[in-house]
């Protein structure tokens, strides 16, 4: 089971649980669920110090504080996570914790319907988190992966990793064995497996990422052969799915990366559930609708989302007007692609109209009511590979901060190869509406979008 939170939520917990007096403190989080295998912090209620009996070794508080939270959890299908601190730094659950959790969660299961687990967690002075699931029968199960997705990505796992494999030794020389072993335990989703997606997948596999989830509805065509790594003319003739061609290349490396493929659009039920289970998702799509879904998915399921865009403009006669691109790192609680000006709500509406009502789209386009959606774009493998590399480096810099400055300054990297410009932008922050859906998890309809069908309530 996994537990996820944003960097902002982690900071809020740290501020409350370590007020500086050396005494334990407690907070309760309402969490969204991803099926039965993940919880995402949705809202945090800090238990006021004045309501608690606190010491350096225990903390108690009145049960009446919980009643509104238990009622909401039951009505909205949410889980509860009890957080408390160990100011002494003891990195395990104590016997006192066992007794306290037994009593606390017996009350929780008596109030909240269902047999899915809730969680008890401890925040330690250095910021690390340990946690365990609590089942209806009172048994405990260690949480296998705990993630904090902020400007940096912090992940704690049960498996600290063994010896670094030979193929990754030189990676470890730069990033350390800890980061190299963490990559082996990551599940990374890639939506879009052609221009930028193909070289990106190649790099992720050779870095030793443990599992890749590939989503793309298209087949290989001859026009794709100039940019899909490992593709052949035979693939184009046989119209093989792009995801299968990339999976074949990754598996042929023999480096241990497992691949799950979904030859389907993002709207496909199984594809979207698979992406929601990832730790990090890359968006390598031209589709505005697809990028909007990924942005929303990252909010609901507390994922790190890295979006790639490449802009190539020529005059049709061999002269180049613009070669540019951008890499966006999107925190679940940060500004989205629309807020950052990547596309507008009107452009998103126009694309949706084109896909659902082609005749109406053409009519409105002719009458000037909407701006046209570009159908096909130039593609150059060297340019695509350049921006794919920037995106992979972005992931590495978040997992293992190595920049001289803070990662917060690198929310957006806009690069013009034509004008030799590199512009950095910070994240302006999410609006109130976006903040309300962070960590909401499974919902009906999925992502709160009626067009995507039912949510995953399994």
Q: For the segment 291-305, what is each residue's pLDDT rounded down to a tens digit?
A: 999 999 999 999 999
Query: Which has the minimum average pLDDT: 82-96, 156-170, 332-346, 361-375?
Result: 361-375
Residue 308 belongs to a domain with what CATH number? Answer: 3.40.50.720
Distance CA 95, CA 99 (A): 6
Is position 458 within any domain? no
> Does 183 reside within a domain?
yes
Average pLDDT of the residues in 32-56 = 92
Residues 203, 349: one domain?
yes
Whether residues 333 and 254 share a domain: the answer is yes
Domain boundary among 149, 182, 216: 149
Please say if the pLDDT value at position 138 is more than 70. yes
Range of the domain at 128: 2-149
Mean pLDDT of 48-64: 87
Torsional sign, CA 42, 2, 120, 125: negative
Residues 141 and 63 reside in one and the same domain: yes
Residue 161 lies in a domain: no
Share of the chain above pLDDT 70, in %: 86
The span from the CA of 26 to the CA of 69, in Å, is 14
Same domain, 322 and 444: yes
> Are 40 and 141 found together in one domain?
yes
Mean pLDDT of all residues in the chain?
Answer: 87
Beta bridge pairs of residue 29: 44, 81
Q: Would 154 be classed as within a structural domain?
A: no
Query: What mean pLDDT is predicted for residues 108-122?
Result: 92
**361 pLDDT tier (thresholds 50, 70, 90):** very low
The reply to whether 258 and 320 lie within a common domain is yes
Q: Which residue has the higher pLDDT, 246 or 288?
A: 246
Residue 110 lies in a domain: yes
- Overall average pLDDT of the 263-268 stretch: 91
Cβ(417)–Cβ(390) under 8 Å?
no
Q: How confident is the model at residue 386 (pLDDT cuts 50, 70, 90)?
A: very high
Sheet of 320-330: strands edge to edge?
Answer: 258-262, 211-215, 187-191, 280-283, 304-314, 320-330, 412-416, 421-425
For residue 10, which of 49, 40, 53, 35 has the smallest C-alpha distance? Answer: 40
Burial grade of 155 (CB within 10 A; 0-12, 13-18, 19 or more): middle
Query: Are residues 99 and 57 both part of a single domain?
Result: yes
In this structure, are 141 and 206 located in the same domain?
Answer: no
Same domain, 114 and 174: no
Whether 190 and 283 share a structural domain: yes
Burial of 381: CB neighbours in 10 Å, binned 0-12, 13-18, 19+: middle
pLDDT number for residue 319: 67
Q: For position 170, what pLDDT does the model report? A: 54
Q: Is 457 within a domain?
A: no
| Residue 24 belongs to domain with CATH number | 3.40.140.10
Same domain, 218 and 118: no
On the question of pLDDT at 370 being above 50, the answer is: no
Q: Name the domain count of the chain.
A: 2
Are 37 and 142 found together in one domain? Answer: yes
């Amino acid at each position: 089971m996994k537990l996820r939170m944003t960097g902002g939520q982690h900071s809020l917990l740290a501020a409350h649980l370590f007020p500086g007096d050396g005494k334990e403190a407690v907070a309760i989080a309402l969490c969204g669920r991803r099926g039965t295998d993940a919880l995402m912090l949705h809202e945090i209620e800090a238990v006021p110090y004045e309501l608690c009996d606190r010491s350096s070794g225990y903390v108690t508080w009145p049960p009446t504080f919980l009643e509104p939270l238990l009622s909401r959890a039951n009505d909205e299908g949410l889980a509860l996570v009890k957080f408390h601190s160990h100011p002494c730094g003891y990195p395990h659950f104590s016997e006192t914790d066992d007794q306290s959790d037994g009593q606390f969660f017996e009350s929780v299961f008596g109030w909240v319907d269902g047999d899915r687990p809730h969680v008890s967690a401890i925040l330690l002075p250095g910021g690390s988190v340990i946690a365990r699931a609590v089942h209806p029968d009172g048994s405990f199960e260690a949480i296998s992966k705990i993630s904090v997705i902020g400007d940096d990505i912090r992940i704690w796992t049960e498996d600290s990793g063994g010896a670094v494999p030979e193929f990754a030794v030189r990676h470890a020389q730069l990033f350390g064995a800890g980061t190299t072993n963490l990559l082996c335990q990551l599940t990374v989703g890639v939506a879009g497996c052609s221009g930028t997606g193909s070289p990106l997948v190649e790099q992720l596999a050779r870095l030793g990422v443990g599992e890749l989830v590939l989503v793309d509805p298209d087949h290989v065509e001859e026009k794709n052969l100039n940019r899909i790594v490992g593709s052949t003319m035979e693939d184009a003739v046989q119209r093989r799915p792009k995801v299968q061609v990339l999976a074949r290349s990754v598996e042929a490396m023999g480096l241990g990366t497992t691949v799950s493929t979904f030859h389907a659009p993002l709207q496909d039920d199984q594809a979207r559930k698979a992406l929601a289970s990832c730790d990090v998702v890359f968006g390598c799509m031209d589709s505005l609708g697809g990028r909007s879904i990924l942005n929303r998915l990252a909010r609901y399921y507390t994922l790190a989302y890295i979006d790639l865009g490449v802009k190539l403009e020529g005059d049709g006669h061999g002269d180049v007007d613009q070669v540019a691109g951008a890499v966006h790192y999107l925190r679940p609680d940060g500004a989205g692609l629309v807020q950052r000006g990547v596309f507008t709500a009107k452009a998103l509406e126009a694309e949706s109209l084109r896909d659902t009502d082609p005749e109406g789209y053409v009519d409105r386009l002719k009458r000037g009511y909407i701006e046209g959606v570009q159908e096909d774009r130039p593609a150059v493998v060297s340019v695509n590979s350049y921006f794919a590399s920037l995106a992979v480096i972005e992931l590495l810099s978040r997992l293992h901060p190595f920049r001289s400055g803070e990662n917060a300054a690198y929310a957006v990297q806009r690069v013009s190869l034509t004008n030799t410009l590199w512009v950095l932008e910070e994240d302006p922050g999410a609006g109130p509406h976006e903040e309300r859906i962070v960590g909401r998890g499974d919902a009906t309809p999925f992502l709160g979008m009626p067009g995507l069908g039912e949510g995953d309530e399994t």
